[in-house]
Structure 1
């Protein structure tokens, strides 16, 4: 393993982040390969894990720690404590603690460190938060607005309507939407094949409005197809596959025209779809399958959302609430 020493780090012995990460490049590359090839993590997840590990390595080097085999539980606690003192959110600290545990467990298993110092590392528990959602009438207004705008025959507006209809109808993640290819859709049966977290494939149904919107987009799609389009379902004006940032921009922009609706991104449409399914009487395990949650406990947060909204409606409507 390549070591980082303060004497090598730069002029006057100062440790610089770039120098630290340059000398740990081989270690980080090996860990990235492990996350992708062995654990099936997506590019987005690998990027998040590696960012947390880089943060830890730079912190360790500032403390004069030459290699990860010298890390101790006190160093890890000091790392988390520094972030807490800087005002980092509890969720951020909890995520970084989990990233450190995953990394150091891998390092021990592959013989890079003699023992895992994170075994007794305790991070603050995340406070449970209820996801923001649209009311059913607000979701309808959003999709109506997208439909009206698509009437101008601009192929990108036709695409926007199809993306929003499919996001809300299926509850898929924005990254899953952006990764769709044309042949992932079965319009006759009204289902879409999605590659989710952990490279797990699932089939998700969608309704007639989403099918019509996608059919309209497939008719308009040839007008923006370019040399780099490939089989991508949703394209930008230059013919390249859309990315999650572009989809977020579309959702935020359209919601800005609904003054009373919360400002949500594509994930808000996923939350809304799950909540509305449960409010309509859907089985919790069916919603779990549609969303691609590994654990039913993750899906159960939407039951809390529904109960919370039921309580607010009751308090507004009942004379003795």
Structure 2
């Protein structure tokens, strides 16, 4: 098939750039999300061009359906995609066409009625409360600035249900330690007086963190006393040792060069703690988020409260955690009831 004229190819490329710019500027999409959409959309546009479609207005429902089928079957350059991965790519395609229709670039939306494949429902991985405690204890090796940071990071992840991007994105001004006075605690530390952490004082009232989720959507989440103690210990006794090497970054969690801790470094923290704790299987920062939700529901929390704490746009997303607790109930029943089997 002859190659499409450059002007026609540019029409698809310009439309794609317009949508990605809209996501970045108007919707506040993260760089991670933009990279994924750019990759999926690039494959889609290549597919259209190989079939002679070079203008956004010439795309029909059939081409969108054919692309979805193509993702599932693969080609010499690409392995077949699982239902979940194909559905993710279709989300990018549908968002692209919806944007073009809304902006008046095209007259209708050819992707509107193309539905994604239904992936097999997989229950989120959660670890037990005892395993969480082992993991948190293993994060604090000695009393070094790095160990204080690692313990505080994992306590915040489990104590707030934050995504790893939300936790490492925290700035000092996003934290309200309630009745605690960080300046006074720092002065006590500098003069050798006993620090407030672990001193038996009453826990703070109203300790909260401000998290920025997907699309920079803001939510306020409370923190318990364990997470607050760990966070204060890091801010007062650990962070100054790292921050003097930087350039005044407002980030809560710093690397040893004084910059903001990266996602990869956060992953390494939990992997190293899991190894020291003797926990098998694949653990990630998201494991603590799953465990946070599961343990709340096990403790009787309302699913809509958990939805707000997790920052889910829809309660349907949160309801998958109720399947975890239901499965746990069935397992306990099968083991404990004399006539369960």
Give the conservation status (yes or no) of the 8 Å contact 1:167–1:270: yes
Partner of 2:49: 61
Cα distance in 2 for partners of 1:232, 1:25 equals 37
Alignment of 1:78-93 (within 5 A): 78-86=66-74, 87-93=80-86
Q: Which runs of 5+ in 2 are unaligned?
A: 75-79, 179-205
Query: Quick check: 242-251 or 111-120, which moved more?
Result: 111-120
Give the conservation status (yes or no) of the 8 Å contact 1:192–1:204: yes
Query: Quick check: 24-33 or 208-217, which moved more?
Result: 24-33
Give the conservation status (yes or no) of the 8 Å contact 1:134–1:261: no
Aligned residues: 303
Give the conservation status (yes or no) of the 8 Å contact 1:72–1:117: yes
Give the conservation status (yes or no) of the 8 Å contact 2:4–2:52: no
SS in 1 for 2:257: coil
SS in 2 for 1:192: strand
Cα distance in 2 for partners of 1:91, 1:165 equals 31
Partner of 2:334: 315
1:141 alignment partner, one of 129, 134, 141? 134
Cα distance in 2 for partners of 1:41, 1:294 equals 15
Compared CA separation, residues 310 and 257, structure 1 to 2 (3 A): farther
2:167 pairs with 1:177: yes
Partner of 1:12: none
2:285 pairs with 1:297: no
Q: Which runs of 5+ in 1 are unaligned?
A: 10-19
Alignment of 1:36-47 (within 5 A): 36-47=24-35
Partner of 2:254: 235
2:100 pairs with 1:104: no
Cα distance in 1 for partners of 2:303, 2:115 equals 31
Cα distance in 2 for partners of 1:79, 1:62 equals 11
2:263 alignment partner, one of 226, 244, 255? 244
Write out per-residue CA displacement over residues 241-290 of structure 1, whole angstroms, 9 at most, x where no aligned residue: 11222212211222233445442211110010011011112222221111
Cα distance in 1 for partners of 2:173, 2:26 equals 27
Give the conservation status (yes or no) of the 8 Å contact 1:138–1:261: no
2:185 pairs with 1:197: no
State the structure with bigger RCO (CA 8 A, min sep 6), 1 or 2: 2
Compared CA separation, residues 7 and 299, structure 1 to 2 (3 A): closer
Displacement after TM superposition at 1:8 (Å): 5.6
Partner of 1:208: 225
Compared CA separation, residues 120 and 296, structure 1 to 2 (3 A): closer
Displacement after TM superposition at 1:109 (Å): 2.1
Displacement after TM superposition at 1:119 (Å): 2.4
Write out per-residue CA displacement over residues 18-66 of structure 1, whole angstroms, 9 at most, x where no aligned residue: xx7x885543332122113333433333332222211211221222322
Displacement after TM superposition at 1:233 (Å): 0.6
Cα distance in 2 for partners of 1:249, 1:146 equals 11
Q: CA RMSD in A?
A: 2.1
Normalised by the size of structure 2, how large is the TM-score?
0.82
Give the conservation status (yes or no) of the 8 Å contact 1:251–1:265: yes
